[in-house]
Chain A
Amino acid sequence: DIQMTQSPSSLSASVGDRVTITCRASQSISIYLNWYQQKPGKAPNLLIYDASSLQGEVPSRFSGSGSGTDFTLTISSLQPEDFATYYCQQSYSTPTFGQGTKVEIK
């Protein structure tokens, strides 16, 4: 199985900050990388698929980049509703998720 490693595991940030989360795959996965947001007690919500495509009505402050083994999720200006846990997931082969990054209020 392809291993997905996110960093950091958690971070503290303020409203308005630019936040970047990274995800590294154990082997090349082309652009088959997806990002989800999960709030406590809720199901995950798809934010970005195929590394950089924004899903549905996801706000444009969210963006994704990368290919091969290294990927990033960027929130350009953190909003109060963005405090949550974020997961990357590869769809190149049998799906695997990163361990998650918890974004907390500073």
Chain B
Amino acid sequence: EVQLLESGGGLVQPGGSLRLSCAASGFTFSNYAMSWVRQAPGKGLEWVSGISRSDGSTSYADSVKGRFTISRDNFKNTLYMQMNSLSAEDTAVYYCAKWRGDQSIFDYWGQGTLVTVSS
């Protein structure tokens, strides 16, 4: 059974940093690209970032480019998101999501971790 378990969310002050993790199991993690998708309270879904399965190619939404860094450890079966210079606009539930094959079709999602940026 595919499982994705996010952790690392919490309350952080504006300008602060946070590192999210997503532990994967039930599939060969190194064979799939992964993404982070977020959802602000009461709002819709926003794709944040993606990383390829092996060569580490990354992409980012303009809203987080230069502040967030996605990475993965294929030995630990874990996806990461380092978030710096956080602002209130980054407050959201952050989901990790597995790609279906080579397309950004998100066939499995974690339960999400809440990041709240507030003083």
Interface residues, chain A, CB within 8 Å of chain B?
1, 32, 34, 36, 38, 42-46, 49-50, 55-56, 87, 89, 91, 94-100
Contact A89 B110 (CB under 8 A): no
Residues of B within 8 A of A46 (CB): 100, 105-107
Known A-B contacts A43-B112, A44-B109; the reply to A49 vs B100 at CB < 8 A is yes
* B46, B61, B110: the one within 8 Å of A43 (CB): B110
- Mostly, the B contact residues are strand
User: What's the Cα separation between A46 and B24 when bound, in Å?
Assistant: 18
* A34, A43, A56: the one within 8 Å of B105 (CB): A34
Contact B107 A99 (CB under 8 A): no
CB distance from B87 to the nearest CB of A (A): 21
Determine if B59 is an interface residue (Cβ-Cβ < 8 Å).
Answer: yes
Known A-B contacts A43-B95, A94-B59; the reply to A55 vs B107 at CB < 8 A is yes
Determine if B28 is an interface residue (Cβ-Cβ < 8 Å).
Answer: no
- Mostly, the A contact residues are loop
CB distance from B101 to the nearest CB of A (A): 9
CB distance from A22 to the nearest CB of B (A): 16
List the 8 closest pairs (A to B, CB-CB), nearest first. A43-B109, A95-B47, A97-B45, A91-B104, A95-B104, A49-B105, A100-B44, A91-B103
Contact A44 B103 (CB under 8 A): no
User: What's the Cα separation between A45 and B81 when bound, in Å?
Assistant: 22
* A45, A50, A87, A91: the one within 8 Å of B44 (CB): A87
14 further A-B contacts with Cβ under 8 Å, apart from A46-B105, A56-B107, A94-B59, are A32-B103, A36-B45, A36-B106, A43-B111, A44-B37, A44-B109, A49-B103, A49-B105, A50-B105, A87-B44, A87-B45, A91-B103, A95-B50, A98-B44
User: What's the Cα separation between A96 and B62 when bound, in Å?
Assistant: 12
22 A-B residue pairs with Cβ-Cβ distance under 8 Å, sorted by A, are A1-B62, A32-B103, A34-B106, A43-B110, A43-B111, A44-B106, A45-B109, A46-B105, A46-B106, A49-B103, A49-B107, A87-B44, A89-B47, A91-B105, A95-B35, A95-B47, A95-B104, A96-B47, A97-B44, A97-B46, A98-B44, A100-B45
